Amino acid sequence: LVVLGVLAAGTGFVNMVPVAKLAGAKIDYLHAWLDGPAGLGTAVHHYDALLKDVAGYAAADLSPLAPAGVSLGLALAGGLLARSLYARPDPVEHTDRLGRVKTVLASNYYLDEFQVWLAEGVTLRVARAANTVDQGVIDGVVDGVSSVSLFSGDRLRRIQDGIVTHYATFVTLGLVALLLIVGLTGGWFL
Amino acid sequence: MIVELLIATTLLAAFVTFAVPNRYAPKLATGLSVVPLAISLFMYATFEGSGNALLSESIAFESQASWVDLGPYSLSWHVGLDGIALPLVVLSTVLTTLAMGSAWSPIDTRQSQFYGLVLVMEASLIGVFSALDFFAWFVFWEAVLVPMYFLIGVWGGPRRKYAAIKFFVYTNVASLAMFVSFVALVFGLPVDTFDLPAIAASLRAGELSGLAWIGADTLRIAAFVGIFAGFAVKVPIVPFHTWLPDAHVEAPTPVSVLLAGVLLKMGTYALLRFNFTMLDGVAREFAAIIALFAVVNVIYGALLALAQSDMKRIVAYSSVSSMGYVVLGLVAYTTYGVGGATFQMVAHGLISGLMFMTVGVIYNATHTRMVTQMSGIADRMPVASGALVAGAFGYMGLPLMSGFWGEFYVFVGAFDAFPGSAIFTAVAMFGIVIVAGYLLWMLQRTLFGPFELATDYEVGPAPVRDVAPVLALLGLVLLLGFVPNLIFDMITGAVDPILDPGVRVAVAGGESP
């Protein structure tokens, strides 16, 4: 815990923008590093320009002092509240007073359960249904067209039976059909 | 003449490879493929083009010669490159060399024919990206199908014949629809050539006069739909996508690398050139419908990937999802939208190649691709597992990997592009969550936990020759992640002439429009 605390504090000092703003000292190391050369495409002003100039979204012009003040205030308030409740020889658990709310809070608002339900109960089921539709319907239509083509080809192939009179009959029927079509579209029978 | 030199050396390498005995073919073909790779890198280093090849008068590496007369139309050999085509040419040469390097282990029969066909396909791909006359372009377009058909049908898996015929019929019918639509469009124009820049100029000048009893507006829309449907099969766009998973699963790994890495880009490249450059008015008019297709691709492709347990099928359906981002970027008609879509073509080519290659390396050792049949592979194959994790992160669009820029640029460019585009973009963004879900699930099940393998093979670290191409691809993914402007400036230079002057913006670190 001590190591983690030291690392957390160290990380905080890497980007002390609010303090830099107040003291005027150049100690916003992370910000300065991210504000690097534009050509690399990793510079923060690159994203700033993209969001403002291209996507049309600009960040609110908010001083870093206000968010820093709010978060610091909340942290201190929590610390003071905890001290007033538990800094005594025989501390008692106060959370029972919350009733059912305690269970909700202890379960992290059931967010884990919600996410598991969303992933397994909804998304995975929808994905499996989509896969069934894809294989059965969309790909089925493609395979169906293929089967119909093969079946039709096989049936049509039987026309070629080698008997000349049959061929002559088909040619004659075809010619009559063509004449009918041309006649109907050309207005011969009107 | 350097484009001709590039195509000729690749074809020459193919013929030499066909002629040599099988045992010499892998190393010889890979070595010979370095020549076109070097030429394409030289072209990248010396590229001084500006503008779009269809809309500008100055085209890099351009050459033109009269070919044949077809009635009142003259066909010509016309090639040249711009900032859209050159990155795709380099992608083709890079991926071909690396794919051939990755084929040394899995391809152990008829090697000279396999590598020869791969080189023929590379030459055809270069032709597709560089041709500026419709007939020359169409010859190359169709020529890609033939080697791919044999590569799947001869060296593929158990259902290779089904997959190869399905791929061929699907894409050939699509080519027919596209060909008829485009030729009908040209017949309605006052041009005597199939030269693409001339046709683009005539169309954008509003010179389309109709054909037979079909009016100009109807012809324009019908041709747009026919051409779009033709290319939608190649991209692929749902519901024309079902050839893709079969082809990927049955194709040998190096062929899957080229199929996902470059062949799908033929579709998006052609969409950009034909539908979104020549028929930009129709594309803008139906922007919302096209964006809907794009978003369905993203979400539906990702959901299908989520339902798979074959790693190759997962990566294949991921490609369907990723191509949705490309279409969304194209229809945005902004610098970052169209530029990001083109960047995403290259980024996805590298990342999908990396993923397929790594899955292939793991398959070579385990003889299974089923997620449910293995776990703890990371202990036995740390380098390949690390590459798979990195590739998955690239697919998820993590910063400092090339996939991040492709998707980020598309989102930025599409968000405020046309009425309702913010909703389409927001829904498309949700696709990343699904992508992260199934890829992390795949990584967790296969790579981590105690070692288990249903196929009972002895698994150890992958040979250097197998992981070398994988690491080279990973290096390129990271390089474009750190320095996207290696190609993005070039791309935006070619994209801007397509756009309305009002929506052009200067890219960070690049030149002002």
Q: How far apart are the first and last CA of chain A?
A: 100
Residue B460 pLDDT more than 70?
yes
Nearest neighbour of B508 by CB, restricted to A38, A57, A131? A38
Q: How confident is the model at residue B510 (pLDDT cuts 50, 70, 90)?
A: very low
Q: Mean pLDDT for chain A?
A: 84
Q: Is B509 on the interface with A (CB under 8 A)?
A: yes
Q: What digits encode the pLDDT tens for the residues B207-216?
A: 998 888 888 8
Predicted pLDDT of residue A60: 72
List, in sequence order, every residue forming a beta bridge with B70; answer none if it has no partner: B73
Which two structure tokens, joined as six digits, stand for B140?
């190359």
* pLDDT for res B488: 92
At B480, the amino acid letter reads L
Quick: pLDDT tens for B475-485: 999 999 988 98
User: Is B374 near chain A, with CB under 8 Å?
Assistant: no
Do B413 and B340 form a contact (C-beta atoms < 8 A)?
A: yes
Q: How far is A136 from chain B (nearest CA, A)?
A: 11
Give the model's pLDDT for residue B512: 37
Return the pLDDT at B320: 94
Cβ within 8 Å, pair A41-B166: no
| B 323-342 near A (Cβ less than 8 A) | 334-336
Q: Provide, as residue numbers in chain B, all residues whose Cβ is less than 8 Å from the Cβ of A126.
A: 303
Let me know: does B473 contact B402? Beta carbons within 8 Å: no
pLDDT over 50 (residue A79): yes
Q: Which residue of chain B comes nearest to A49, CA vs CA?
A: B508
Name the residue facing A127 among B307, B400, B415 (closest C-beta): B307
| Nearest CA-CA partner of B359 in B297, B277, B442, B434 | B442
SS3 of residue B131 by DSSP: strand
Distances (CA, A) of B326 to B170, B291, B338, B339, B349: 21, 10, 8, 10, 12
Q: Say yes or no for a CB contact (<8 Å) between B416 and A128.
A: no
Best mutation site among B507, B511, B512 for testing chain A: the one with the most A CBs within 10 Å?
B507
Q: In percent, how much of chain A has pLDDT > 90?
A: 33
Token output for A127: 């994905």
The sign of the torsion formed by the CA atoms of B185, B187, B190, B191 equals: positive
pLDDT tens by residue, B161-207: 999 999 999 999 999 999 999 999 999 999 999 999 999 999 999 99
Are B367 and B308 contacting, i.e. CB atoms less than 8 angstroms apart? no
pLDDT bin (cut points 50, 70, 90) of residue A30 is confident
Average pLDDT of the residues in B348-357: 96
Cis preceding-peptide flag for B513 (omega within 30 of 0) = no
With a CB cutoff of 8 Å and minimum separation 6, the contacts of A177 are none
B499: phi then psi, degrees, rounded to nearest 5: -90, 165
Output the average pLDDT for chain B. Answer: 92
Put simply, the chain B residues between 461 and 500 with a CB less than 8 A from any chain A CB are: 482-485, 488
Tell me which residue of B107, B104, B147, B110 sits closest to B125, measured CA to CA.
B147
- What mean pLDDT comes out for the span A163-188? 90
* B241-263 average pLDDT score: 93
Candidates B429, B181, B140, B165; CA nearest to B269 is B140
What number of CA atoms fall less than 13 Å from residue B183's CA on the CB side?
A: 11
Give counts: helices (H), strands (E), chain B.
21, 4
As a whole number, mean pLDDT of residues A155-168 equals: 88
In this complex, the residue of B308, B405, B416 whose CB is nearest that of residue A56 is B416
- Interacting residues of A123 by C-beta distance below 8 A, sequence separation 6+: B303, B306, B434, B437
Q: For residue A22, what are the CA distances in angstroms to A10, A16, A32?
A: 19, 10, 17
- B469 to each of B96, B98, B258, B423, how far by Cα in Å? 11, 5, 13, 40
| Phi, then psi, of B367 in degrees rounded to 5 | 60, 25
What percent of chain A is modeled with pLDDT above 70? 92
Whether A55 and B412 lie within 8 Å, measured CB to CB: yes
For residue B426, give both structure tokens: 């927001």
Cβ–Cβ of B307/A131 closer than 8 Å? yes
Out of A55, A56, A131, the one facing B304 most closely (by C-beta) is: A131
Report chain A residues whose CB lies below 8 A from the CB of B239.
138
Q: Residue B214 has what pLDDT?
A: 86
Instruction: Give percent above pLDDT 90 in chain B.
Output: 86
More confident of the two residues B49 and A133: A133
Peptide bond into B497 cis (omega under 30): no
B455 three-class SS:
coil
Separation in Å, CA of A80 to nearest CA in chain B: 39
Statement: residue A1 has pLDDT above 90: no
pLDDT of residue A103 exceeding 70: yes
Chosen from A45, A50, A53 to mutate, greatest number of chain B CBs within 10 A: A50
Which band of pLDDT confidence, cut at 50, 70 and 90, is reported for residue B50?
confident
**B115-137: per-residue pLDDT in tens?**
999 999 999 999 999 999 999 99
pLDDT band at residue A27 under the 50/70/90 scheme: confident
Chain A interface includes B416 (CB < 8 A): yes
CA distances from B237 to A67, B210, B229, B325, B356 (A): 46, 29, 9, 11, 20
pLDDT at residue B492 above 80? yes
In sequence order, the β-bridge partners of residue B63 are: B79
Contacts of residue B485, Cβ cutoff 8 Å, sequence gap at least 6: A39, A41, B507, B509, B510
Instruction: Please name which of B240, B307, B258, B210 lies closest in space to residue B98, comparing C-alpha atoms.
Output: B258
- The rounded distance, in Å, linking the Cα atoms of A34 and A14 is 12
Cα–chain-centroid distance for residue B67?
A: 29
Contact B320, B452 (CB under 8 A): no
Q: Do B416 and A142 touch (CB under 8 A)?
A: no
- Name which of B6, B47, B13 is nearest B31 in CA terms: B13
Q: Select the more confidently predicted residue: B303 or B456.
A: B303
Closest chain B residue to the Cα of A135, Cα to Cα:
B242
Chain A residues with CB under 8 Å of B242 CB are: 134, 138-139, 142
Q: How many CA atoms lie within 13 A of B361 on its CB side?
A: 31
Residues 6+ apart with CB under 8 A from A32: A26
Burial of B468 (0-12, 13-18, 19+ CB in 10 A): middle
Which residues in chain A touch residue B405, judged by CB atoms under 8 angstroms apart?
Answer: 41
Subunit contact B412:A45, Cβ cutoff 8 A:
no
Cα first-last separation, chain B: 30
Are A41 and B308 in contact (CB < 8 Å)?
no
- Evaluate if residue B88 carries a pLDDT over 50: yes
Q: Per residue in B356-372, pLDDT tens? A: 999 999 999 999 999 99
Crossing angle between the packed helical segments B160-187 and A139-157, to the nearest 10 degrees: 90
Burial B253-290 (b: 16+ CB within 10 A, else e): bbbbbbbbbbbbbbbbbbbbbbbbbbbbebbeebbeeb
The encoded tokens of residue A2 equal 């001590």
Confidence of residue B513 (pLDDT cuts 50, 70, 90): very low
User: Nearest residue of B to residue A46 by CA position?
Assistant: B508
Q: What is the pLDDT of residue B509?
A: 46
Q: With bands split at pLDDT 50, 70 and 90, how would you rate the model's confidence at A159?
A: confident
> What does the alpha-carbon distance between residue B357 and residue B257 come to, in Å, rounded to a whole number?
7
Q: Residue B69 forms beta bridges with which residues?
A: B74
Which chain A residue has its CA at the smallest distance from B425's CA? A55
**Best residue in A54, A118, A149 for a mutation probing chain B (most B CBs within 10 Å):** A54
